[in-house]
A = this chain, B = another copy of it.
Amino acid sequence: MHWEGEKRRRLKELERAIERGEVDEAAIPVLETLNSFEEYCTTSSCSGRVVVLHEPEVGDKIGSEFVAKWHEPPEPEEVREAVLKAPEEGITWVKAQPPLFHVMCRDLEAAVRLRNIASEAGFKASSIRSVKSSKVIVEILGGERMDVPAKVNGKLTLREKAWDSVVALCNDILRSGHERLSRLVEALKGLSR
């Protein structure tokens, strides 16, 4: 009863977020498939993205801020411009981040099943993130990523000619994450209900 109520409330929130355009397109089929199972309920999602992130110093998560985010492959020039306009002091990162889904599971058995299927579908970094008596959180996470310190204390680290190839690699990672999401949806459909 507790589970059903919480799932219903979260699905309503998700519906509103989708209506407001806050959920990236490529994540939606995965969310729908996961939520169609009684024992799973998604709590957050990202289909993978390229970001420009500024940190006053390495690991300062509190002081960090996003300068730009893309869920679809950006142009090299867009990424370069975002890096140029970031603050001078500190570190400006260009990051390609893999797909990431958090899924509340009704019990540990359901969580183990989901982690295993995600891992087999290519999300090798998937794991159980927390276990409480009433619910278990699974993180579905891809393994490929890139974290380039593109500006350090006002100095650009990349050669002018390298922007194209570095952003192309980011975009490869983004696309391969999207492809894997389709594999995950197929794999989930094969799960018995």
Q: Which residues of A contact B (CB under 8 A)?
A: 58-59, 91, 108, 111-112, 115, 127-131, 139, 143-149, 152-153, 155-159, 161-162, 165-166, 169, 172-173, 176
Which residue on B lies nearest to A165, using beta carbons? B152
Quickly give the copy total for this chain: 2
- Interface residue from B59, B131, B148 paired with A108 (Cβ < 8 Å): B131
Taken together as a complex, chains A and B put the C-alpha atoms of A146 and B95 apart, in Å, by 9
- Which B residue's beta carbon lies closest to that of A164? B152
A161 to B159, CA, bound (A): 10
B169 pairs with A161, CB closer than 8 A:
no
> What is the CA–CA distance of A158 and B160 in the complex, to the nearest angstrom?
9
Select A128's contact among B91, B128, B173, beta carbons within 8 Å. Answer: B128
Residues of chain B contacted by A162 (CB below 8 angstroms): 152, 155-158
